[in-house]
A and B are shown apart, each in its own frame.
Chain A
Amino acid sequence: MRLSQLKVGSKGIVKEFTDLEMSIKLMEMGCLPGEEVKVERIAPMGDPIAINVAGYQLSLRMREASTIILL
C-alpha cells in the first residue's frame, strides 16, 4: 500500500521509499521508516495532500506520496 492510496483520516506506518532522491528529502523532514503517518486532508482539487508525521503537518503532492510504501 502506498501513502497516496490512504483515505483521509486513516493511518499507516512508513515501510520504505521507491525514489531515492525523494526519500532523502522526506527523511530530512522527519518522515522516516517506522514513523506513523496520518492523512489529515486532501486539497480541494484532489492534490496535494496534508499528512501528520513526527508531530507536525506536512504537505506533499500525490506523485510524491506514491513513492512512500506503507507497512
Chain B
Amino acid sequence: MKADIRVALVGNPNTGKSTLFNALTGLNQKIGNFPGVTVDKKTGYCDLPDGRHAEIIDLPGTYSLYPKSRDESIVFSVLADRKSTHTPDLIVVILDASNLKRNLLLYTQVADLKIPVIVALNMMDLAKSGGITIDIDALAKKLGVQVVPIAARKLEGIDKLKQAITYANKLALQESSIDVSAIAPQLIAQIGEEMQVENPYFALQLAHQHEHLSFLTVTESGRIEELEHIHAFHSQKAQATETIARYNYINDLLYDTVQKAESAEGETWSNRIDRVLTHKIFGFIIFFGILMFIFQAIFAWSAYPMELIEDLFVWVEGLIHNYLPAGPLTNLLSDGVLAGLSGVMVFIPQIAILFAFISILEDTGYMARVTFMMDKLMRKVGLNGKSVVPLIGGFACAVPSIMSTRTIENWKDRMITIMVTPLVTCSARLPIYTLLIALVVPNKNVWWIFNWQGLALTAMYVLSLISAVIVAFAMKLILKGRERGYFIMELPVYRMPRWNNVLLTMYDRSKAFVVQAGKVIIAVSIILWVLASYGPGNRFEKIDQKFSKPEYTKTVAPADLKRMIASEKLEASYAGVLGHAMEPAIRPLGFDWKIGIALITSFAAREVFVGTMATIYSVDGDADKIESVKEKMANAKNPNTGKPVFTLAVAFSLMMFYAFAMQCASTVAVVYRETKDWRWPAAQFAYMTVLAYVISLITFQLLK
C-alpha cells in the first residue's frame, strides 16, 4: 500500500503506545526490519478521514532520545535521518497523563528536533482517579501543538486523533523548550555550519550519537569527533545539564496547567497486590504455581490443535498422492515440502499459547515483578531476572522462548539466554526419552510412589536446567558485555490484560515464526528427503528387482513387503551411506549406522527420531505405534556379537546426545532471526554438538 503521510509513534514504555498503534492500524500491520540493525520495525496503515492513507511506524518505547539499549537507539536515527525511506512527516508523541512530568522529558527532546508533532494524551481516566486535573487547552497553547486526549484501551479519542493527523501542520510550529545552544555553543555552531544542520538540537544530538548513526559517513563522524575534542565536549555532562534544564522547563510548564489534589497517601490496591505477589514465600509459591499452569496448558491445550494440523497435512498428502501422477516430483512435494511444512505448522499452537500467556503476564505488570524477584538469583549465573520466562518456556519449545528474549535490554544477558535456552528439555525430546527409558529402565517402584522410569525422566529434566545454568555461567566469563548492566526499571501498576492485544501477539508471533523459520525448515526438509530417497548408482532398482521376485511377492504380505523395501532402500540411500560413513565416529558413543541415520534425519527436528527408528526397524512410522517400535528395538541384535543393540549404556548415551545436541532446524533459524548474525547459531550448534558428543562418550564408556 502506498502511504500519503508517514507518522511515527514515540513515547515512554507502558504509556499505551502499542495499544494506540493497534487501535490506529488494526490487523493492517507488519513486522519488518530497520536496515542494518536487529530491531523490528512495526508498521501499519490507517485510513484518514479525508481518504488519504497514513503509514504508522511504532518506534520502541524509550524514556529519552539518548539510547540505553539497542532497541532505543533506533528512535533518534529514524527521526533524524532525513533522506531515508522511513523518515516520518509527523510525530505523534503519546504521553501518560497520570505521569506527565516524566513523559514530557521525551516530548521536549522530540519537539526540539522541529519535526511536526502532535500530542496524544493517554490515560486521562487514570489521571482523574488519581486526583490530577489537566488544563488541556492551556497545555496545548503553551506547547504550541495539538493535544488530543485519548483512552487507547477504550478506543476513545482515536477518531479525534486521526482528524488531528489529517489536519496536522506541515511545518513544525511547536514552541522551543530550552535554550539548546547554551549547552555547547561553539560546538553546535560549528557542526551546524559544516554539516548544514540548521537545528541546534539536531546538531547537539549528532555530537552525542554520531558513532551509532548509519546515515553519517565515516568522514563526517570522524570530523564530529574532532570537533568534540577541540571544544572539550563531555557527552555525559552535557546530557546531565540538558536533562536538568528540561525538567526546569517542565516544572514551569506544569505549574499552572496541572493540579494534583493533595490526598492522604493511602495504600493503592496495586501495592496491596504486590505485598502478596512479591512476598518472600508466597511470591515464589505463586510464581511456580503460575509456571506449572502455563507448562501444563502448553501441553494440554496444544495437543488437540496439533493433532488437527497433522491430520490436515496427512489429508492434503493423501490428496496429492491420489490426484497427482506418481513420480519424484509428487514425492518431493508430499514427503519433502509438505512434511517440512507440517513440521513448522505443528508448532503454531504451542507458540500461540506460550505467547498468549507471556503477553498476559506482561500486560498485567506481573512480568516486571517476576523479574524483580528473580534478578539476584539469575544474576549469579550470568543471566538476568528477565531470563526466567524464556528458560521456563523452553520446557515447551525453544523457538517461541528465544523470540521472547527481546524483553531483555542488556545485550550480553540476552545473548546468554538465547544460547542456553535450547538446552532446556523441550517437548520434542519427550517422545525420545519416553521411548528409550521404556526400553531399558524397569517399570518398577522404589519406596512407594517413585517409579524408576519416572525418576529417570525427571532426572533428564533436572539435568537440562543444571546444564543451562552451568553453560550460562561459562558464557558469562567468555562474552564481553558492551553495555553496562542496568536494572533501573519501571514497575507498572497492575492492570487487566488487553485481550485483543493478546490475540494480536499470538497472531504476530505465529506469523513471524512461520514466515521466517519456515523457509529454513522447508529447505532442510527437502535436502533430507533427497538424501533419504535417493541412493548412489542403481542400488534402488536392484532392491526393487530383488523384492519383485516371486519368493517375496508370494510369501510376504504386501504391507510387510513394502516396509522391507523401505528399510532396505533407506540403508542404500545417501542417508544410509552417510550413516555407514559416520559409524566410526559414533561407535565410541555406542551407536551403530542405523542410529547414525536417525541422527542425520532428526537434524531438522528431534521428533523425527522415533519415525526414523520405526522405518529402519521396519515398522509403521506412526506415532501411535511406539509400542511396536519399542519391541522391535528391544529385539534388535548386533549381527556380530548377537547381543541386544539397545543396552542401558546405549540408550542413556543416546538420550544424553539428544539432551545436548542442537537437533532442531527451527531453533537454528529463529536464533539467526533474533541475532541477525549467522555466527550465533553456528557457535551454538558447535558448542552443543561438542557437548553432546563428549557427554554421550562419557556416559557410554562409564555404563558399558
Interface of A is mostly: mixed
Q: Could you say which interface size class chain B belongs to? A: 35 or more
Residue contact A28 to B105, C-beta cutoff 8 Å = yes
Closest to A56 in B: B99
User: Which B residues are in CB contact (< 8 Å) with A26?
Assistant: 488
Cβ-defined contact, A21 with B484, below 8 A: yes
Is B243's CB under 8 angstroms from A43's CB?
no
Inter-chain contacts of A46 with B (CB < 8 A): 376
Least Cβ–Cβ distance between B402 and chain A, in angstroms? 25
Per-residue CB proximity of A40-62 to B under 8 Å, as 1/0?
11011111101000111111110
Interface of chain A residues 6 through 33 with chain B (CB within 8 A):
20-30, 32
CB <8 Å contact, A64 and B486 = yes
Given contacts A24-B243, A32-B247, A43-B376, contact A48 B64 (CB under 8 A): no
Residues of B within 8 A of A21 (CB): 236, 484
Given contacts A20-B240, A24-B236, A54-B102, contact A47 B490 (CB under 8 A): no
Is B240's CB under 8 angstroms from A27's CB? Answer: yes
Q: Which of B353-391 contact A (CB under 8 A)?
A: 368, 372-373, 375-377
Which stretch in B154-162, B271-279, B655-663 binds the other chain? B271-279
Chain B residue nearest in CB terms to A64: B488
Query: If the complex has contacts A58-B489, A58-B491, A64-B487, are A24 and B376 also in contact, measured as CB distance less than 8 A?
Result: no
Main secondary structure of the interface of B (DSSP, over half): helix
**B519 lies within 8 A of chain A by Cβ:** no
Q: Nearest Cβ distance between residue B25 and chain A, in whole angstroms?
A: 28
Question: Is B507 an interface residue, CB under 8 A from the partner?
Answer: no
Q: Does B547 contact A (CB under 8 A)?
A: no
Q: Are B243 and A27 in contact (CB under 8 A)?
A: yes
Do residues A24 and B240 form an inter-chain contact, with CB atoms below 8 A?
A: yes
Contacts of A40 on B, CB cut-off 8 Å?
271, 274
Instruction: List the A side residues contacting B454 at CB < 8 Å.
Output: none
Contact A48 B487 (CB under 8 A): yes
The docked-state distance in angstroms from the alpha carbon of A6 to that of B98 is 27
Closest chain B residue to A62, Cβ basis: B376
Residues of chain A within 8 A of B680, CB atoms compared: none
Verify A25–B368 contact, CB threshold 8 A: no
**Which of B98, B377, B488, B493 lies at the interface centre, i.e. has the most chain A CB atoms within 10 A of its CB?**
B488
Q: Across the interface, which residues of A come within 8 angstroms of B672, CB to CB?
A: none
Residues of chain A within 8 A of B237, CB atoms compared: 20
Chain B residue, CB-CB nearest to A47: B376
Q: Which of B169-193 contact A (CB under 8 A)?
A: none
Nearest CB of B to A13, in Å: 15
Chain A residues closer than 8 Å to B488, beta-carbon distance: 22, 25-26, 29, 58-60, 64
B487:A44 contact, CB within 8 angstroms: no
Q: Are A48 and B243 neighbours in the complex by a CB distance under 8 Å?
A: no
Which of B64, B372, B373: most chain A CB closer than 10 A? Answer: B372
Residue contact B68 to A25, C-beta cutoff 8 Å? yes
* Beta-carbon contact of A54 and B243 below 8 Å: no
* A28-B375 contact given A20-B237, A48-B487, A64-B486, CB 8 Å threshold: no
User: Given A32-B247, A47-B375 in contact, is the A59-B368 Cβ separation under 8 Å?
Assistant: yes
Chain B, 96-116, CB within 8 A of any chain A CB: 98-99, 101-102, 105
The complex places the Cα of A11 from the Cα of B562 at a distance, in Å, of 80
| A26 and B243 alpha carbons, distance in the complex (Å) | 10
Q: Is B280 an interface residue (CB 8 A)?
A: yes
Q: Which of B453-491 contact A (CB under 8 A)?
A: 484, 486-491
| Contact assessment for A44 and B102 in the assembled complex, using a CB-CB cutoff below 8 Å | no
Q: Which residues of A contact B486 (CB under 8 A)?
A: 25, 64
Mark B residues whose CB is within 8 Å of A: 63-64, 66, 68, 98-99, 101-102, 105, 130, 236-237, 239-240, 243-244, 247, 270-271, 274-275, 278-280, 283-284, 368, 372-373, 375-377, 484, 486-493
